[in-house]
Amino acid sequence: MINGDMNLILVAVVALVVGVAVTIAMVRYDLGPKGRLARGGQWLLATALGTGVLAFAVKLVLIVAIASLPELTIDPFIEKDPIARPASVRDPLDGLLASSRFLWQPISENESGAAAVSENKQNETAYIWQTLPDTAPAPAQNPTTPDKTELGERLFFDTDLSRDGSLSCSSCHDVLGGSGGDGRPTSVGINGQVGGRNAPTVWNTAFQSHLFWDGRAASLEEQAKGPLVNPVEMGMPSLEAVESRVREKPEYREAFDKAFGKGQPITIDRIAEAIAAYERTLITTDSPYDRFVRGDLDALSPAQLRGMSLFQRVGCVQCHYGPNFSGASLFDARTPFRIFPVYPTPYETSYKLTEDSGASPAGSGRGSWRVPSLRNVALTGPWFHNGSVNDLEEAVRIMSSVQLGYTGRYLVWSDSHKVMTELNGPVLDDESVADIVAFLHALSSDELVRRIANKGDDYSQERGPMTAGLERQRLSTAK
């Protein structure tokens, strides 16, 4: 290719020389005498005509240069999206999803000849991998202090904040045992009531810009109030009743004085602020991934390194990007919500993925959900908003299919819009799925892995900042 371009440039140079010579001769011996031009006029005319020849030659050289060396000529001037999905997995159904009914039909090789396979090329723009900071930002009206954090920890574990005294925040968000969730498909509230959604982990939620699966809370303070009065969760009749319940316990009076100032009233806002302050200390920065990005190049296994590359190449970073692996994070909340599932596949029926529409209006067909963090994701199963998937490899297959379009070959008919679309994305093979899962395990905190292995029973050694105070709580609740 390069030799061909050089030959073309050489021909252009020869043509330029010949063209200039012909132009000068034509003016000198033909146009000049016929126009009765003096020598100065002849040179002026020759210059004007020669400029056109020269401009043509320059354009030809530029075209060849741009075609041959785009990385040096035009790429530096093109603004690129650092988290853009590869072009081969762009959504062909954009704009058709919110109100469509889909009919999908697989295309076999016998029906269509040799099945076309499109190779997804890695996005050429460098993706910057990042680690979490050790501390979370706090709002100006609720600065994090040790006294407030200690009070929030007590409230987080206090079962008296539920109507029948049977549940605390920690009942669904188990930080002592490790995962920060409850390990159930959907959570169980007072009187054995079962909720409709999976309990998200509380670890690293301090870095999220939207809370709950449907993103309806914009802060930890706002989120902390919701479960207290949810009739299916902790079931308190009102936020005022929560205030009264806390005021009735004299041991809280001194703790509130220390946290908010002597004599300040115990209000639901201060209760929520204390719980939020505690939750802002639940940070994990001790994963193999974090060690690798900080410079320990032996922290990841070969499979995890391959999975890390695939995580970027197949497009996972389009939604799960940044230090907290979430588009709904405080670091960069450009895309906090996503339609899920995007592509119609058999998975949505098998796992009931569209029965709950999340942040979308009821009856929308396809839900809209806050992008969850993938930190510690290997520890927080079962997965998805309805907890319907028990195997992490299956979760990766589902996401690569329904979100990224790696579905195989299908004809998709939108009955609402009367549009036919052909999807053509090779399904990820088992080795690729295993490598991505290996990388997701690299996002797990070493401390949390140890806690889960010990079933929450051993906190006597090597306690770091994120475990401070938890042993005190464990001992006090065991009395």
Which sequence positions are flagged as catalytic?
Answer: 233
Q: Which of 49, 48, 52 is nearest to 60 (CA)?
A: 52
In sign, the C-alpha dihedral spanning 97, 98, 103, 106 is positive
Whether the CB-CB separation of 118 and 425 falls below 8 Å is answered with: yes
| Cβ-based neighbours of 211, under 8 Å, separated by 6 or more | 205, 217, 218, 219, 220, 222, 223, 370
Q: Which of 272, 182, 178 is nearest to 224 (CA)?
A: 272
Closest CA to 150 of 224, 267, 226, 252: 252
Residues 217 and 80: their CA atoms lie apart, in Å, by 32
286: left (phi over 0), alpha (psi -120 to 50) or beta: alpha
Integer-rounded Cα Rg, in Å, for the chain is 32
- How far apart are alpha carbons 73 and 33 in whole angstroms? 45
Contacts of 206 (CB under 8 A, 6+ apart): 136, 137, 220, 279, 280, 281, 282, 283
Sign of CA pseudo-dihedral 63, 64, 67, 68: negative
Q: Could you tell me the two tokens for 62?
A: 């530029």
Q: How far apart are CA 197 and CA 383, in angstroms?
A: 10
The rounded distance, in Å, linking the Cα atoms of 202 and 180 is: 5
Reference 330, options 275, 377, 283; nearest CA is 283
Tell me if 93 sits within 8 A of 343, measured CB to CB: yes
Residue 48: how many other CB atoms lie within 10 Å: 11
Rounded distance between C-alpha atoms, residue 46 and residue 42, angstroms: 6
Partnered with residue 410 across adjacent β-strands are 106, 423
Residues with Cβ within 8 Å of residue 163, at least 6 apart in sequence = 190, 234, 235, 236, 237
Alpha-carbon distances, residue 385 vs 184, 215, 405, 444 (angstroms): 11, 12, 20, 20
